[in-house]
Structure formats: C-alpha cells, structure tokens
A and B are shown apart, each in its own frame.
Chain A
Amino acid sequence: MTDVTQMLDDARGGDPGALDRLLAAVYDDLRKLASQKLSRERRGHSLQATDLVHEAYIRLIGGAEVQWEKSAHFFAAAAEAMRRILVESARRKKTLKRGGGRPRRELLEGDAISLDDSIDVIALDEALEKLGLEDSVKADLVKLRYFAGLTGEQTAGLLGISRATADRYWAYARAWLHDEIRRGDEKRNSSATEEQR
C-alpha cells in the first residue's frame, strides 16, 4: 500500500490531517508533473488537466485497486491542488507584470503552464470561494469538473447526486460564477474610476 493509499484510508476514516497530507502529496506531484510534461511535450502535444490528474493518480496510488468512493478524496485533493497551482501561477504572472522583479527559477517552472487567458483565474477563485461558502456541493462540482477535469458522470458519482442534477448544477454554477466575476469587474472598474477622480 502506498503512502497515498494509506492517506486515502485515513481520510476516509475521518482523519482531517490525512486530507492535508494527501493534498500536499498530490500538489507536489502535480507541480512536478506539470513542469515535466510541459518541458517534454512542449511541441505538438496538448496537456490537459485531466491527463495530469490521472497520471498523478496512477503514480501516487499505483496499480492498487482503489474503490471509487475512496478515490473521491483523491480527486477532491487533486482538484484543490490544481486550483492552487493555477491561482499561484496567475498571481505570479500578475506580480511579474507589475514589475515585481526578476523571475526566479522556481517561478519559471510554474509559468510554463499557460493559462487559458480568457479566464481570470484569480477572480474565478474568489467567486468560487464565495460559492463554496454558500453552497459547497455546487462549488465542489465545479472544482472537480474544471480543475480535476472529471466528466459530468464521474462528478455525479463522486458527489452522490444524479447525472441530471449534476448537469443542472453545472449549468447553474457556470452562469452564477460568470455573473459573479462580472459583478466583481464592475465593482473594480467603478472604484478605479473613483480613484481617478
């Protein structure tokens, strides 16, 4: 049994520390994986969050048969880890853009991840956090689908809801988050105008 499987077991047994450790392990692995992949496959291959998560899954848990239910914790951790990687990467980019000094080696690694520019990951993260406080199931669903790259069906299975509900939640959450980010933008813009005056 790998360490990670042990952590999964512990997490399932209700040990909250195990989840943190699991998260740390997954996070670490994903970072490494992402930078390796990106350097190896710079040319001609696409890198999907899904691939990363699945590869991390295989690497950390190995060939061991893991019950689906147990792996819920894994994917939750993976989604969380992926979210952190992306948010950190986005923050760093923002800092660099502001002229926050010379990038250091460790920064470059994360920056190899090219973010989908159409999305402000930081704003999304804030909106998602808000949603999570109000309705954790819907927020988890977004995390699993978006950050861990799971399908609607997998997500439904993990969250213990029907496929139809998962789809409905998904449509709603997307619209809600989109709206929330828009509101945030408006607020920022208006306060920026305020300052100019």
Chain B
Amino acid sequence: MTSEGHDRLEELFTAALGLTSDRRRTEFLDSACSGDSELRTRIEDLLSSHGQLGTFLEDSPITTKRDPDATVALPGLSATAEVTIGRYKIIHELGEGGFGTVYLAEQEQPVRRQVALKIIKLGMDTKQVIARFEAERQALALMEHPNIARVFDAGATESGRPYFVMELVKGTTVTDYCQRNALGTRERLQLFLPICHAIQHAHQKGVIHRDLKPSNILVTMREGAPVPKVIDFGIAKATSQRLTDKTLFTEMRQFIGTPEYMSPDQAEASGMDVDTRTDIYSLGVLLYELLTGATPFDSETLKAASYDELWRIIREVEPPKPSLRITRMSGTKRETGEKTDGDASLTALSRRLRGDLDWIVMKALEKDRTRRYATAKDFADDIERHLNHEPVLAGAPSWAYTLTKFVRRHRVGVVAASFVLVAIIAGFSLAMVGLVNANRSREQLAVEANAAMIARAEADLHRDLAQAETITSATVSAFLQEMLSVVDPNEALGRAVTVRFVLDEAARKIEEGALSGQPTVEASLRMTLGRTYLALGLYDPAEKQLRAAQSICTEVHGVESPVTLRANGTLAVLLRVRGELAESEALLRRTVDIQDQVLGPDDEDTLVTRTELALALQGPGRFEDAEKILRRVYEARRRVNGEESEKTLEAMVHLGGVCRILGQTDEAQRLLRDGLHRSEQLLGESHPCTRAAVYQLGLFREDRRELEQAESLYRRSYELDRSILGADHPGTSIPRNSLLRVLRTLQKFEEMRPLVEEQIARLRRAAERPGTVASDLHSFAWVLLYCELVELRDPAAALPFAERAVDMDGGQDANYLDTLAVAYARSGHLGRAIETQRRALAQVRAGGPFNRDQLESRLVEYLILNGEFLEATKISLSDVASRVGESLISEDVPGQSEVIRSEKLMRERRYPEAVQHLRICLTSRQKSLPEGHWLIADVKSRLGEALTGKGDFLEAEVALILSHGSLTEAVDVSPATLDQSIARIVSLYEAWDRDDDAERWRQRRVRPADPGSNR
C-alpha cells in the first residue's frame, strides 16, 4: 500500500467511525466502496479492530509494578494547591516511615534552603511531643558531626499533628546501599565505623538516639565516597511513650515499626531506664544485619509473636552468632546483596565472620548492658582492630589467638612464612596450601580470596597448638630460633621469603644435622615437611623427606610402631600420585597387614591405609579388588564414625567412584549424589571430599553423555581446585583436563582457550625455572605438540625443550625421544625425526616400558613421508603400513581427521562433501602451520583432486598447479607426495579431455602409477 492508499483508507475509516448506527455505516460503506469488496473487507476489519482496541498502545509499554499504597496524599489538600506548614513550603513527598510521612520542603526564612519535614502520624499527644523535643533542643543544637543530619525545628500542623524539620539527606538506607553496591564484608565494616563515631558524638553531647535502624541511617555520596548520615536524632525521645501500657500495644507496635532493633533495656518493664548503651545494642543489631543480611531475630517470628512473647525474646533469647546464621542460610536466599555465587561463598562468608566478627557483634548484643561495649567508640575501635588484624577486645584472647593475629597481620610475604614455621612445629601441613598460593601470586590475587583458607589454617592452628606446646626440647627451641632468623625481614635482607623458601630452608637445616640428636623430632618434622610438599604438589622434595622419615621411624620406633606405619602410608600415597603403583601397593599391603594385627581393622590408621590401597589398585585397573576393599572401608566407617562423619562421606565418594567405573550405575549415582549433598552441607564447598564428589559426579555425567551437566560439574571442580590448590598444582590439572575433554566434544573452543593457555603457562613456568628437570622440559614440549587447541600448538617452540629434555636425560627415556621425533617431524625435519625415532626404538628394545607398536608405526609414517618405502616395510613385518592413515601422528597433524574423512568420501565418490572437508582442513592448516609448509600444499593438491571429481576443472587446475609449485619448493617433501601431486594433475587433464597436457605431465612422473594416488 502507498501512503495515499493509507490516507484514503483512513478517510473512509474515520468517516465510518463517525457514523453511530450500524445501518448508516453499512449504507455508507456500500456507496463508498461501490463494489470494491477488498477495500470494504479492509475497512470492516479495521472497524472491528477498533472495537477491540481497549487500551492498545495507550499505556506506556514499560511499567514497574505500582504500589497503590506507596504514596499517601496529604489529607485535605489537592495536588495543585500550594501547601505550607509553618515556615515551610511543601514541595513533594519523599517517603513514609513508621513515624509518619516525610516531605521535601522549602524554608524561606531566615535562610532559603531545602529541608526534610516529617509529619508524625496521628495518635500522639502533640503537646507532650513538642515539649519533650523542646527539652532536648539545646542538646540537639550542640551536635555538629558530618555523619549526623541536624534537626532544625519542631512544631504542630494546623490539624494538630507534630512535625519535625531536619537537614535534607538525599540517600538510600545503609542496608540498601550495601546491597545495591554488593559491598564486601570489609567495605561494610568501613561504612559502619563513621556511624559509630556519629553515635559517640551524640552521646558525648548527651543525646541518645533510641531508634537506630537502617531506615534512620542514610548513605549519601560525597566526592564519590559513601557518607552515612544518622537521621531522626531526638525524635524517638520526643515521641516515646511508655511501652508498658498494654492497651497501647497495637498502636505502639505500629509506631515502633521494628522491634528487631529494640534493646532489652528498652523492653524492660520499667521501660524508661534507658541510657547510651541502648544505642550500642541497636548498633550491634545493625552490624549483624550488615554482615549477614538478617536481623538477630527473625522479623517474621517477631511479627507473629504475642506481646509477652515479643518482650521475652528481646530480653532473654540469645541470637545465633552471625557466622552460624550464615551457615543456616545455606541453601536459602541470602539478602545482603554481597556478591555471592551460591553456597560456596556463603561458606566463605561464614568463615570470615567466625571469630572476631562473631565476638564483636555478640558483645554489642549482650543482654546485660554492662557487658556491652561501654561506648560507641570502644565498639568502633574493636572493629578497627579487626580490620588491622590486631587482637580484638571481644572474645577470649588466648595466647594462641594472639599468635594467630600476629601472623595474620602480615598476611602475605614475610610473616606468612613464620606461620608456616609454626605449622611445621605444630605438625600440620594441609592448611598451608592456601597460604602458599597467597604468597606465590600475591600481586594478582586479592587477599580476600584466600581469607577462607587462612581461616581454615587458623582453625587448624588452634587445634594443633596443643601439640606444639608439648614439643619443648632445647634442640627444637634452638631450631625454631634459627628458623625464625631466616624469616625475620631484617635477616632476610630483601630476599623473597616464600613459604617454599622456608620449607626448603628447614629441610636444608635438617639435612645439615640440626636435629641429629633428636631422631624422634627429626622424623616428625620430616614427616610434616614431606606431607606439606606433597600437599603442594612438589613431589621430588616430598619423596626425599618421606623416605628419610620412614627409615628413621623404622629404626627408632620399629616396624610395628604406629608411627612407622603412618610414615609408610604417607610415603605410599606419594608413590601412588607419582605413578609408582607397584611399589605403592606393596608398601600399603605390608603396612595394612601389620596394622590389622597391631591396631585392628577398625583403627583410623588402618582404614586410611586400606583406602589408599584401594586407590592404588585402581591405577593398574584392578577395579573389582578396589571395590571390595572400599565396600569394607565404607561399612567400617559407617559403623565406627557414623553416617554423617567426614570420613564416612569420603569413603562413600570413593566407593561411588569405583562403582561408576564398574558400571554399577544406580549405586554410583546414589553414593555420589548423597555424598555430594551431605558433604556440601556438613563439610562445605571447599572440603576435599566435596571437591572429589563434584569431580566424580562429573565423570558419572560424562559416562552418561550428559555433557552439559558434566561440563558444569567439571568446571565447578576445576574452579574450586584452582582457588584452593592453585593453577599450578598437579591436582588442578585433573579437573582441568576433564573439562577440556568435554569442552572439545561440545566444540566450545573459545572456552577451551583460557584453560589450554593456563596449562601451557603452567608447564612453561616449570620448564623455564632455574633447576628444571627433564620431565618438566618434556611435559612442556609435549603440550606444545599435543595441546587440545590446534592453533596453540607450536612444534618449533617445542623443539628446543624436547632436545634439552633428551640431553638432560642422556637419551635414556624412549618417551622423550619419541616426543623429540614428533617435534622434528612437525617442524619439517623428517631426517632427524627418523634418526631420533630409531633411537627411541633402540631404547625400547633395551627394555623400556613403552608401547612399541606406537613407536614403530610412527617411524613407518616418517619413513613413508620421506619416501623411504623400502625402509618402512623393513621396520615391521606386521601390517603397520595399513594403519598409517590412522596412526597417532596423523591425528596430530592439524586437520588430519578431515583429510582421512575426505579420502573416504572420495572413495565413495561424494566429491562435494570431500571438498568441504578439505576446505576446512586447509583453513586450519593455514592458521596453524607456517606459510609454505608442505602440508598446506598437500591439502590443496587433495582439494584439486576432489574438485576434479566434482567437475570443477578450472578451479581444480588452479589448485593443483599452484600446490604442485609449492610442493616442489618446500623442504622435506617426500618424492611420493610429489608424485601423487603429479598423478592428480594427470587425472585432471584426462577427465578434462586434454590429452596432450595429460601426456606431458605423465612424462614427469618418476614412478609408475601408485595405486593409492589416483582413484
């Protein structure tokens, strides 16, 4: 339709609309449309639409839910009339609170300014209110504080309601502010401090607020920084009435609005005996709410409570500590708005609150006001102490507590190391993992991120300090002294005193014989060091310490001593994670046999060893054996430790894992799900058991091809491990590799990238560090050759590392040689690849644990690529050559799977599809290989063949001739490849009926037609 058409239609529509009766409309349309039935239908449709319009397009398209009660009109006043109250001109309503309604007003005299004017609800004795206000006016006038909104005036409206005039504060309530900006705990505390100072100021001027609550503390922004302002000073006092009068209760309750913030003193029967400490209590409630998102007593409970019950709760019931409150919130929604990613961060938050903040809040909330902070300043000071990691006054400061504080004051760097020392002496190790990470990456890692770890370390420290106290020998004291001097910043002279450094120093000192007179202590410290290294994933030094510890123990305590047996167990764990499964298993069997006899099968140590044995058996694939053992352990755990214990849950997850492998799907699912659920609840998100369950469940989902779910579980597992163990920890590689595997299947290449990059970076760091070892060099070279993302592979960069690995190893390890050969082949040095691969095979023949077939097939591949067919057939009499197409090396050439696919398609004469695959392959090779690489030319040549089949001769000719040119110029091209390229050109010209050209090219062939080249 044109705009004229619309105009015409509109004209008729409007005219018809103007006619009121149906009959006249029909007549009008009859004549106006005169036989144009289409036009007529159109207009009738429009008229019918018009009838159904309703508010179509009349209302604004976007609205938010409107609360009809939100605004209360000023009684007796129309919206247009100008309203003045006293000297104040009302501009508009600002909001409504428990007391009454607040308006924005303008004062004309003596100064022109905007103020907030609050009209108190009906039900107050105006005279009394004003009299009380007048009594305090003097004191109020003395208050001068940046965090207090001043009260200017009070009066009565014409209708006899009291009103107050205050400094206008444009802002949101403190709780809303925190929520909206998702402030962290520290920021919340910092915002809370000036509120305390404001209250302190008021108290010094003799003013008690009496009604501190979030709605009376507004946050405004000044120069980009939040400034809290306490409002309504003096108003509660002026409007307060005896709360004991039951008849007034309903009204009072409405009036108070929020009993959540009322102190027990205010709730006392006498009711009027209230001093500054009532404000301290309310501040405590406020802090509680800022930290947890909830008031100490649940609002719903209070609302539902009877009069007597309400007062009883306020006076008698002890609220849960903030950290506990958080724990209870797990699973339900929390409302502080602090950035949380679910229960994980709730757990972390709970840990943050545990200790100091619990104590501080609970001290302010003491029912007995003499036990609260005496002043708001004391309250603030204690919070500042907490923020500075100094011991707080609240709580019970034991020496252990003080020591912990001392350590935490210097979270990262130097004194984290002294913490490690204390830990070594105290004999615990796992807790340090987090500290090490804080230390290792202190630049990029927010301190807060490790707060949870430190909190756990702290808890462990508490537990283990008792043990530390028992070690009092002079030798240990001297050792400790010496170690402390290492840690001391003055002595360290700017050296980077890392946790690793302290551990190494301690190990060195022990090695030098610092504890030689004290074999028991030496063994114990070596065990601790060994376990710590093990936990950190530093297996070499761990092995050294654990072997030494084991041999000292055996010598000093004897073979059957529980201490020796425990040393055996730890050493076996290390051997297992290092992959030395046979030795690990043997040691574990020996140990568990003795433990069964000496300690009994239900002993903790025995159960631990038995579990380890099951894990060691899974390595070589003896899952049935492992299952039997794990069932036995699980049963024992349930019996000995109970259903809800950490140990039982761990056993449950282990058993679930092996059931999964054995295909006992239902049982695996039940064990893993229950295990995860309970472990989350009881142990928290970051507990090793929860992490293991998450990972196992990921494997379970992957088995069932529920890949999206598997991905999300792996990701969760990976992120937890990464934050707890660190990106470089070998343990983190496990979920990372699984996640990569699933992502690749799901073709989420973009998401793989950061993971692969992290993997490469980790291995690079290990390979490039001074004092690196052959295995690290090899791993790095390997990842550069085989990593999951083809575009990140870099054979040229891998080459020097692979060479160094072989050099350092002296050419002993067939693995290293094999990798080096691949690096040579991929960088185009086929001759050297062949030579290196032969060396690898020689090593295997000398008797190395290696898949010989694999090595041979690769060598054959190199030889064929190099045109040495005779050599290739000599290598193996088996049908290796036929496997070449699918050999491992082929898969690792970028786009090789596409090539194999295209070969199959061409055999089936599905040329267009083959073209597609080859184009994909070409793109990926052009991206990942250096320009002019023969593999690019090779795929172009294949593309030419497919195009020939498809009948696109012109394009085929271009591809074939160009690629042939590149192939003749490229290095390391085998004669066979070159010959194939010519054969393809010949076939093209034959198909194209250009016989002369075909014959000309046929002349250039070196070899007679190769059966594989031209189908």
Contact = CB atoms under 8 A, between A and B. Distances in A.
Interface of A: 34, 38-50, 52, 82, 86, 113-116, 118-119, 121, 131, 134-138, 142, 145-147, 149, 168-169, 171-172, 174-179, 182
B6 interface: yes
Contacts of A138: 3, 6, 10
Interface string B57-70: 10111111111001
B62 A171 contact: no
Given A43-B70, A134-B3, A136-B3, A145 B57 contact: yes
Contacts of B60: 48-50, 116, 146, 149
A172 to B, nearest CB: 4
Contact of A175 (B7, B50, B61, B70): B50
B62 A49 contact: yes
B847 interface: no
Contacts of B70: 43-45
A52 B60 CA distance: 11
Given A44-B71, A134-B3, A136-B3, A115 B61 contact: yes
Interface in B1-39: 1-3, 5-7, 9-10, 13-14, 17
B846 interface: no
B63 A172 contact: no
Given A134-B1, A134-B3, A49 B61 contact: yes
A181 to B, nearest CB: 9
A84 to B, nearest CB: 12
A30 to B, nearest CB: 10
Given A135-B6, A145-B57, A43 B46 contact: no
B47 interface: yes
B2 A38 contact: no
Nearest to B12: A172
Nearest to A102: B712
What is the size category of the interface that chain B forms with chain A?
35 or more
A171 B49 CA distance: 11
Contact of A39 (B7, B17, B66, B180): B180
Given A137-B3, A178-B56, A171 B14 contact: yes
Contacts of B50: 171, 174-175, 178
B62 A115 contact: yes
B583 to A, nearest CB: 47
Given A39-B180, A146-B61, A178 B49 contact: yes
Given A114-B63, A145-B57, A172 B46 contact: yes
Contact of B62 (A40, A113, A134): A113
B52 interface: yes
Contacts of A48: 60, 62-63
B57 A177 contact: yes
A4 to B, nearest CB: 22
A104 to B, nearest CB: 14
B45 interface: yes
B53 interface: yes
Contacts of A38: 64
A172 B65 contact: no
A165 to B, nearest CB: 10
A175 B63 contact: no
B63 A46 contact: yes
Contacts of A134: 1-3, 5-6
Given A39-B180, A44-B70, A168-B10, A119 B49 contact: no
A86 B46 contact: no
Contacts of B53: 174-175, 178
A146 B55 CA distance: 12
Contact of B49 (A46, A121, A149, A182): A182
A43 B69 CA distance: 11
6 contacts: A115-B62, A135-B3, A174-B56, A175-B50, A178-B56, A179-B49
A174 B62 CA distance: 18
A145 B66 CA distance: 22
Contacts of B10: 138, 168-169, 172
Nearest to A142: B57
Nearest to B5: A134
Contact of A121 (B52, B61, B172): B61
Residue among B5, B14, B47 with most chain A CB within 10 A: B14
Contacts of B49: 175-176, 178-179, 182
Contacts of B7: 135
Given A174-B50, A174-B56, A175-B46, A47 B63 contact: yes
A43 B67 CA distance: 7
Contacts of A142: 57
3 closest Cβ contacts across the A-B interface? A44-B70, A135-B6, A178-B49
A83 to B, nearest CB: 9
Contacts of A182: 49
Nearest to B47: A175
Contacts of B71: 44
B985 to A, nearest CB: 50
Which of B60, B66, B180 is packed against the most chain A CB atoms within 10 Å?
B60
Given A146-B60, A147-B61, 16 more contacts: A43-B67, A43-B70, A45-B66, A46-B66, A113-B62, A114-B65, A116-B59, A116-B61, A119-B56, A134-B2, A138-B10, A172-B6, A172-B10, A177-B56, A178-B50, A178-B53
A190 to B, nearest CB: 17
Contacts of B67: 43-44
B46 A179 contact: yes
B9 A41 contact: no
B9 A34 contact: no
A172 B13 contact: yes
Contact of A146 (B1, B45, B57): B57
A135 B7 CA distance: 9
A86 B62 contact: yes
A46 B60 CA distance: 11
A46 B180 contact: no
A119 B77 CA distance: 37
B62 A172 contact: no
A136 B7 CA distance: 12
Contacts of A171: 13-14, 17, 50
B653 to A, nearest CB: 27
A93 B71 CA distance: 31
Contacts of A46: 63-64, 66
A149 B56 CA distance: 14
| Residue among A113, A116, A118 facing the most chain B CB atoms (10 A cut-off) | A116
B1 to A, nearest CB: 5
Contacts of A43: 67, 70
B547 to A, nearest CB: 49
A136 to B, nearest CB: 7
A47 B62 contact: yes
Nearest to B50: A175
A116 B63 contact: yes
A136 B3 CA distance: 8
A40 B1 CA distance: 45
Nearest to A172: B10
B45 A179 contact: yes
Contacts of A114: 62-65
Given A43-B70, A179-B49, A174 B63 contact: no
Contacts of A41: 64
B14 A172 contact: yes
B62 A34 contact: yes
Given A38-B64, A46-B63, A182-B49, A174 B57 contact: yes
Contacts of B1: 134-135
Contacts of B45: 179
Nearest to A90: B61
A116 B60 CA distance: 8
A95 to B, nearest CB: 17
Highest count of chain A CB atoms <10 Å: which of B48, B64, B172: B64
A157 B63 CA distance: 26
Nearest to A53: B60
Nearest to A116: B61
A34 B60 CA distance: 13
